[in-house]
Amino acid sequence: MQNSLELKITDLSRGGAGVARTPEGEVIFVPLTLPGDRVRVQIVDKQKRYSQAELLEVIEASPERVDPRCSVFGRCGGCQWQHIPYPLQWKTKTAGVEHALRRVSLTSPKRPEEFPADLTWGYRNRIQLRGLRTDLGFYARRSHDLVPIASCPVARPEINKAIDSVRTEGQELPQQYKVEVEVLPDGSVAKSWNSRHANLGFRQVHDQQNGKLVNWIRENLTAGRPLLDLFGGNGNLSLELASQMTRIDCVDMSTPPVRPESTPENFHFHRSGVLPWLKKKQRSTEAVEISAIVDPPREGLAENTGEILASLKQLGVTEVIAVGCDPDSWARDLSHWTKKGWKLQKIALFDFFPQTPHIESVALLRL
Ligand SMILES: C[S@@+](CC[C@H](N)C(=O)[O-])C[C@H]1O[C@@H](n2cnc3c(N)ncnc32)[C@H](O)[C@@H]1O
Q: What CATH number did the domain enclosing 352 receive?
A: 3.40.50.150
Domain assignment of residue 184, yes or no = yes
Res 299 pLDDT > 80: yes
Q: What CATH number did the domain enclosing 20 receive?
A: 2.40.50.140
Protein residues with CB under 6 Å of any ligand 1 atom: 202, 204, 231-233, 236-237, 252-254, 273-274, 295-297
Res 80 pLDDT > 60: yes
Structural domain ending residue among the three candidates 161, 193, 225: 193
Domain assignment of residue 39, yes or no = yes
Q: What are phi and psi of 113, to 5 degrees?
A: -75, 135
In this prediction, residue 257 has a pLDDT band, given cuts at 50, 70 and 90, of confident
- Claim to verify: residue 255 and residue 299 sit in the same structural domain: yes
The larger pLDDT score, comparing residue 185 to residue 197, is at: 185
> What pLDDT is stored for residue 202 in this prediction?
76
What domain count does the chain have? 3
Domain assignment of residue 167, yes or no = yes
The residues that bridge with 29 in the sheet, in sequence order, are 19, 52
> What pLDDT is stored for residue 271 in this prediction?
96
For the segment 289-318, the average pLDDT, to the nearest whole number, is 95
- Claim to verify: residue 131 and residue 109 sit in the same structural domain: no
- Claim to verify: residue 247 and residue 163 sit in the same structural domain: no
Strand, coil or helix: 269: strand
Contact (CB, 8 A) for 74 and 56: no
pLDDT digits (tens, 9 = 90+) for 132-182: 999 999 999 989 999 999 999 999 999 999 999 999 999 999 899 999 999
Res 284 pLDDT > 90: no
Query: Burial, 320: exposed, middle or buried (Cβ in 10 Å; 0-12, 13-18, 19+)?
Result: buried
Give the atom of ligand 1 at the shortest distance from the alpha carbon of 274. 20
Domain assignment of residue 70, yes or no = no
- Which domain range does residue 97 map to? 91-118+206-366
> What pLDDT is stored for residue 2 in this prediction?
55
Q: In the chain, what percentage of residues exceed pLDDT 70?
A: 98
> What pLDDT is stored for residue 279 in this prediction?
94
**Distance in Å, CA 11 to ligand 1 centroid:** 34
> What pLDDT is stored for residue 201 in this prediction?
66
Is the pTM above the cut of 0.85? yes
